[in-house]
């Protein structure tokens, strides 16, 4: 899908969902959860959580990658709690993380978790899926995400085991989601009426976002990075900024990013601005005849130097952008700049 | 133990990579050297019998002259010939200390060595000690090259010394060495799915940088759409290794005259990319003739009209 039509389509989908069935009854029927809390799982994982809207619980994880210092709980996972059913959003970075999220749902007295949804095949979204699979819960993801998990996440698991240790990763295995988003994008789980528009290849190979019209809350997955540089390793660098901008334009009251605090949709723009600036600088360098080595040195984007990951994956992002522009030049018979 | 190199002349396919066809071109003897060095060193790596002190040396990058794989490659390619350490600026290798992506590691060679006249640079080997097939590329320069600077991108399988060895027309050898931290590049999954890669197989783009003046070296870039499968990457879905299929030679000419010839191997990254120089003396076409390991050939060209000085 072309970037402009993808953007228009995403906007339209978001608008339609936010007009979809936002009944006062639903809004007032929400559970009376506390605004925030701190849950310690039986396995010792600390989950600081907060309520967003009336029925979304987000467990705000570390901005950095999974590491022993953060107990492996990188990134945000959460729950959408209806009257008759709850849904988990992303699985966490280990089976223990996934189990902790399910335990948090019980602790909060939430309606039973009936399904989990995975927005991208990233470690913090995928590695905890064994907990949901063990509980017999269906896991929903796009075709592209499921295929990617099957093909590539095994290596990722090995690396994560080496990083976090066998004890922290006990019971963690690769689970390939079997459930696909409905073709019309409307997903009903118990009384929860959610919209799962498929974005395509942007942040990951086949992105999914989740809108809850009734509550005015959207889950951005890896299209939402706040205070942390987007990692373009598996992204389509040319599709990412338009996709983020489309999400930033949604009329939701809250957007829950993959990393960073919940906020208004406009909070996503910083990451889009970074990708735009990266594309602009790399194009300029290519036009000037710079090679990859030179571009890696020249494109520094210091305005984002305070963001987590700038010191570690910004250069990799430069390389990803160069390769994407060159790939486009070959595919479309245009110049790479 | 290292496998014995099969003799391509006798029509025997090499044991590895599985899809490599016997070379039938003039590059056969060069290819044999590549295979020989590759298999020797590859065997050495796979043997996993290196003593602890050797492994420590590999990880740290200390003492490049003592690298066990290098000693084998050196004996295979250069025998007892003396190899001088290149003076700074005369021959320089440009690599990242730590690669951003082990499957696409940019490597640049900068030289002040002439490509014509007395004592000119004839041939340049790009060697990655600890790759399964360490001789990544062999480049032949001609006076039409203008300058012997070039850039390409390689896969790196584990922490390794990377070397550029230059042979001058008088037979002297000189070498620049860098240590690069990267791992898993040769077995990394491709960036593009195979169906898409095969649909655009051999598509290429040639471009020149800046203004083109007659009789002055001009930088050019060649991009080729090719999966350059190493034969070492496993498809996790099928649990099968994708057979090796890679660009074997690139022959660049200008107005029919040879500019640069490259013998390549599985260490070259997906979508091979080469930046090099040439000297346009008259109007003409810069052409690239590419042959891959399945003996498929691809041609591309770019018409050039240099401005008179």
Which of A121, A300, A330 is the best residue to mutate to test the B interface, defined by the most B CB atoms within 10 Å of its own CB? A330
Does the predicted model carry a pTM greater than 0.80?
yes
Contact B205 A330 (CB under 8 A): yes
pLDDT of residue A111 exceeding 50, the answer is yes
Average pLDDT, chain A: 90
Q: Does A319 touch chain B (CB under 8 A)?
A: yes
Across the interface, of B189, B207, B209, the residue whose CB is closest to A151 is: B189
- pLDDT score recorded for residue B18: 32
Give the DSSP letter string of B34-53.
HHHHHHHHHHHHHH----HH
- DSSP-H helix ranges across chain B: 28-47, 52-60, 68-78, 194-199
Q: CA-based Rg of chain B, rounded to a whole angstrom?
A: 19
Q: Does A179 touch chain B (CB under 8 A)?
A: no
Query: Is the N-terminal amide bond of B17 cis, ω within 30° of 0?
Result: yes
Cα distances (Å, whole numbers) of residue A103 to A40, A70, A97, A190: 9, 19, 10, 20
Strand-pair category, A192-195 with A186-189 = antiparallel
Measured CA to CA, the distance from residue A133 to residue A131 in angstroms comes to: 6
pLDDT of residue A332 exceeding 90, the answer is no
Contact A336 B273 (CB under 8 A): no
What are the pLDDT digits (tens) for A57-80? 999 999 999 999 888 889 999 999
Q: Quick one: tokens of A117? A: 């949804």
- pLDDT score recorded for residue A337: 67
What are the pLDDT digits (tens) for A116-140? 999 999 999 999 999 999 999 999 9
Q: Does A326 touch chain B (CB under 8 A)?
A: yes
- pLDDT score recorded for residue B171: 94
- pLDDT score recorded for residue B238: 79
Most confident of A27-36, A148-157, A282-291: A282-291
Which residues on B lie below 8 Å from A333 (Cβ)? 205
Sign of CA dihedral A153, A154, A155, A158: positive
Measured CA to CA, the distance from residue B5 to residue B12 in angstroms comes to: 10
- pLDDT score recorded for residue B309: 59
Q: Which residue in B has a C-alpha nearest to residue A236's C-alpha?
A: B191
What are the pLDDT digits (tens) for B69-83? 999 999 999 999 999
Contact B237 A292 (CB under 8 A): no
H or E element at residue A153: helix A143-164
- pLDDT score recorded for residue B20: 35
Residue A331: pLDDT band (50, 70, 90) is: confident
Average pLDDT for A91-101: 96
Contact B236 A326 (CB under 8 A): no
Cα distances (Å, whole numbers) of residue A170 to A99, A138, A166, B12: 11, 21, 6, 49
Q: Are B61 and B98 spatial neighbours (Cβ–Cβ below 8 Å)?
A: no
Sign of CA dihedral A194, A199, A200, A202: negative
pLDDT of residue B13 exceeding 50, the answer is no
Measured CA to CA, the distance from residue A261 to residue A268 in angstroms comes to: 11
pLDDT of residue A265 exceeding 60, the answer is yes
- pLDDT score recorded for residue B61: 62
What are the pLDDT digits (tens) for B78-134? 999 999 999 888 999 999 999 999 999 999 999 988 888 888 999 999 999 999 999
Average pLDDT for A26-41: 69
Q: Does A306 touch chain B (CB under 8 A)?
A: no
Which residues on B lie below 8 Å from A323 (Cβ)? 104, 191, 271
Give the DSSP letter string of B257-289.
EEEEEEEE-TTBPSS-EEEEEE---SSEEEEEE
pLDDT of residue B9 exceeding 60, the answer is no
Q: Does A332 touch chain B (CB under 8 A)?
A: no
Q: Which residue in A has a C-alpha nearest to residue B203's C-alpha?
A: A330
What are the pLDDT digits (tens) for A2-24? 445 555 545 554 444 444 433 33
Across the interface, of A293, A296, A330, the residue whose CB is closest to B225 is: A330
Of B232, B262, B228, the C-alpha closest to B245 is: B228
CB atoms inside a 10 Å sphere around CB B106 = 25
Percentage of the residues of chain B whose pLDDT score is greater than 90: 64
Residue B38: pLDDT band (50, 70, 90) is: very low
Average pLDDT for A186-209: 97
Could you tell me which residue, B187 or A30, shows the higher pLDDT?
A: B187
- pLDDT score recorded for residue B258: 97
Residue A316: pLDDT band (50, 70, 90) is: very high
Percentage of the residues of chain B whose pLDDT score is greater than 70: 80
């Amino acid at each position: 899908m072309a970037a402009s039509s993808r953007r228009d389509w995403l906007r339209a989908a978001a608008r339609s969902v936010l007009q979809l069935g936002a009944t006062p009854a639903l809004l007032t029927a929400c559970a009376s959860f506390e605004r925030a809390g701190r849950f310690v799982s039986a396995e010792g994982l600390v989950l600081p959580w907060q309520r967003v809207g009336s029925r979304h619980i987000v467990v705000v994880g570390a901005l950095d990658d999974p590491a022993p210092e953060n107990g492996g709980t990188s990134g945000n996972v959460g729950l959408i709690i209806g009257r008759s059913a709850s849904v988990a959003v992303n699985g966490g970075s280990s089976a223990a993380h996934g189990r902790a999220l399910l335990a948090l749902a019980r602790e909060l007295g939430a309606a039973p978790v009936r399904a989990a949804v995975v927005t991208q095949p990233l470690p913090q979204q995928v590695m905890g899926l064994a907990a949901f699979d063990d509980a017999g819960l269906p896991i929903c993801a796009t075709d592209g995400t499921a295929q990617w998990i099957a093909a590539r996440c095994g290596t990722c698991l090995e690396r994560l085991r080496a990083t976090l240790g066998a004890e922290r990763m006990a019971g963690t295995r690769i689970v390939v989601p079997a459930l696909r988003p409905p073709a019309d994008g409307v997903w009903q789980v118990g009384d929860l009426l959610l919209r799962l528009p498929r974005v395509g290849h942007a942040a990951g190979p086949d992105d999914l976002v989740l809108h809850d019209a009734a509550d005015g809350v959207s889950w951005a997955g890896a299209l939402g990075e706040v205070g942390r540089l987007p990692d373009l390793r598996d992204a389509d660098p040319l599709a990412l900024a338009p996709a983020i901008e489309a999400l930033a334009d949604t009329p939701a009251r809250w957007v829950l990013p993959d990393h960073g605090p919940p906020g208004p949709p406009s909070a996503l723009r910083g990451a889009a601005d970074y990708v735009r600036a990266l594309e602009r600088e790399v194009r300029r360098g290519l036009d000037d005849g710079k090679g990859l080595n030179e571009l890696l040195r020249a494109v520094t984007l210091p305005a984002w130097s305070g963001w987590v990951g700038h010191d570690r994956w910004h250069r990799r992002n430069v390389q990803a952008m160069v390769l994407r522009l060159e790939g486009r030049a070959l595919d479309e018979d245009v110049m790479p700049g | 133990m290292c496998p014995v190199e099969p003799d391509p002349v006798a029509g025997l396919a090499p044991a590895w990579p599985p899809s490599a066809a016997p070379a039938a071109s003039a590059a056969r003897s060069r290819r044999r050297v590549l295979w020989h060095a590759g298999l020797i060193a590859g065997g050495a790596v796979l043997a996993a019998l290196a003593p602890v002190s050797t492994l420590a040396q590999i990880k740290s990058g200390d003492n490049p002259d003592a690298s066990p794989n290098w000693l084998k490659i050196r004996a295979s390619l250069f025998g007892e010939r003396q190899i001088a350490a290149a003076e700074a600026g005369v021959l320089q290798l440009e690599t990242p200390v730590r690669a951003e992506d082990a499957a696409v590691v940019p490597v640049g060679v900068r030289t002040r060595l002439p490509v014509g006249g007395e004592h000119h640079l004839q041939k340049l080997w790009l060697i990655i000690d600890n790759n399964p097939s360490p001789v990544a590329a062999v480049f032949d320069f001609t006076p039409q090259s203008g300058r012997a600077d070039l850039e390409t991108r390689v896969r790196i399988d584990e922490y390794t010394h990377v070397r550029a060895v230059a042979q001058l027309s008088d037979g002297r050898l000189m070498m620049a060495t860098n240590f690069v931290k990267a791992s898993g590049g040769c077995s990394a999954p491709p960036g593009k799915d195979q169906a898409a890669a095969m649909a655009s197989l051999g598509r290429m783009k040639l471009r020149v940088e800046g203004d083109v003046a007659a009789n002055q070296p001009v930088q050019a870039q060649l991009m080729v759409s090719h999966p350059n499968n190493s034969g070492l990457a496993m498809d996790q879905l099928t649990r099968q290794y994708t057979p090796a299929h890679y660009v074997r030679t690139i022959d660049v000419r200008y107005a029919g005259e040879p500019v640069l010839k490259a013998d390549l191997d599985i260490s070259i990254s997906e979508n091979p990319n080469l930046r090099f120089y040439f000297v346009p003396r008259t109007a003409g076409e810069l052409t690239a003739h590419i042959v891959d390991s399945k003996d498929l050939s691809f041609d591309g060209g770019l018409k050039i009209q240099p401005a008179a000085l």
